[in-house]
Structure 1
């Protein structure tokens, strides 16, 4: 059970990692535009898949189920991605991902009340490896950020959004795992579809805001009048289906199989795969510090697996 859960979590990370390439491919579009396209596709495809049995499924849901699904659609999808993207725009990838990378630690603390979790003393070693791995991943970027001259207000705003993204994802992980373990009659795939419809509704609202207020590209190399909308929707289809729908199905399977504290640690596969895809995209090998970081992250998860295996 533990091993299959970790493998499903790794598969989700492999899908989520692809999303980090989308801003590089869509440089003439803002982060909010990319987020809107991604989750409109996720919501639209989910609704299409639900359509044949929508009324039957709807009758099985309670009012509290609908409420939690709406919360999950925002916390783990639209809100999280928007806050993360905004933080990256203000302070860069390094500081933003360093803050959000603390999610495994936060989720482990939040999951301490669950009956299937291990004491913090058993998980201190794995968590230390994961924290050090996240730091090493961002060491170069953090050094560059320290040399940047920018208004203090922009730095504070960016860090606040990063902490907001951390809180958003951590709450999503906890609420989603507990909801899945409570509603055992709803499959992981069906729950991903329902979450997608919720995310699509939030994205539709964001699309209206962007249309009314307008959106400016966040890339210095962007040329708004030269936007390739065909490419935009092709990429949105890829990250909406692969990076959201399929990824969430894998993640739901992992959340059902793993203790909550271990579920949070499996999240580290997202930055690992994002790094690997980045190396392929840039046609380069990892630098020594990056290789050390990847090794520490994977070691931390495997160590935690071993601790839970002893418990079993």
Structure 2
């Protein structure tokens, strides 16, 4: 593996992990303000990139409603629930629950209709979920005892909402791009980014 790929992977993990820390440093701000600030930053970068892909984007006008839906749910709704989860429980709890995303995405992404979930994913997914619970039981119970249970419960609730939003977005976005192979994923990401609330 080239060194650039390793460095980019580390950088991606850094940016993924920092989303759980930022709400701790911005405690004086409302969680929606934090989410909108994050999305505004993404939107400004996307707006700068928009100039390079503007011609390719014009043909995607019929998909702008979907892009707006993805932007609202993913960039505002998702991060607001992450920030609320961190505020009411802790960054480690939210990161732990978001770590279940590969399982939830695999299960939702491999459904054939509503009734049939791939058995090859269901059992390993449940075992991983149970393993995460066993490994982190002491941490979870310690944090539960050191916080107000009502607040901690709200934190877990918001983290699970964030997990649901992330899972839905990944599967819906993948399905959309699969059904529209003529759309360049870079152009699509730029369009979702410029859909400012």
Q: Distance in 1 between matches of 2:22 and 2:158?
A: 20
User: 1:35/1:44 Cα in 2 relative to 1: closer, same or farther (>3 Å)?
Assistant: same
Q: Distance in 2 between matches of 1:170 and 1:34?
A: 21
Corresponding residue of 1:227: none
Give the Cα separation in 2 of the matches to 1:144 and 1:187: 47
Q: Distance in 1 between matches of 2:183 and 2:163?
A: 27
Distance in 1 (CA, whole Å) between partners of 2:92 and 2:20 is 13
Instruction: Show structure 2 runs of 5+ residues with no match.
Output: none
What is the total number of aligned residue pairs between the two structures? 187
The one of 160, 163, 175 aligned to 2:160: 163
- Tell me the distance in 2 between the aligned counterparts of 1:76 and 1:93: 19
Asked if residue 57 in structure 1 is aligned to residue 51 in structure 2, the reply is no
Report if aligned partners of 2:89, 2:155 keep a CA contact under 8 Å in 1. Answer: yes
Q: For 2:165, what is the secondary structure of its paired residue?
A: helix
TM-score calculated relative to the size of structure 1: 0.50
**Which residue of 2 is the match for residue 22 of structure 1?**
22
Q: In the alignment, which of 174, 178, 182 is matched to residue 181 of structure 1?
A: 178
Question: Structure 2 vs 1, CA of residues 194 and 140 (structure 1 numbering), >3 Å: closer, same or farther?
Answer: farther
Q: Which runs of 5+ in 1 are unaligned?
A: 1-6, 203-312
Relative distance call for 1:163 and 1:18 in structure 2 (3 A) is closer
Matches of 1:28 and 1:131 in 2, distance apart?
31
| C-alpha displacement of 1:88 | 1.8
RMSD over aligned CA atoms reads 3.3
Secondary structure at the counterpart of residue 78 of structure 1: helix
Q: Quick one: structure 1 residues 16 and 94, their matched pair in 2 at CA, closer, same or farther if it must change by over 3 Å?
A: closer
Q: Does 1:192 align with 2:185?
A: no
Q: Does 1:85 align with 2:83?
A: yes
TM-score normalized by structure 2?
0.75
Cα distance in 2 for partners of 1:170, 1:138 equals 22
Looking at structure 1, the residues matched to 143 and 119 of structure 2 have their Cα atoms a distance apart, in angstroms, of 34
| Superposition deviation, residue 71 in structure 1 | 1.5
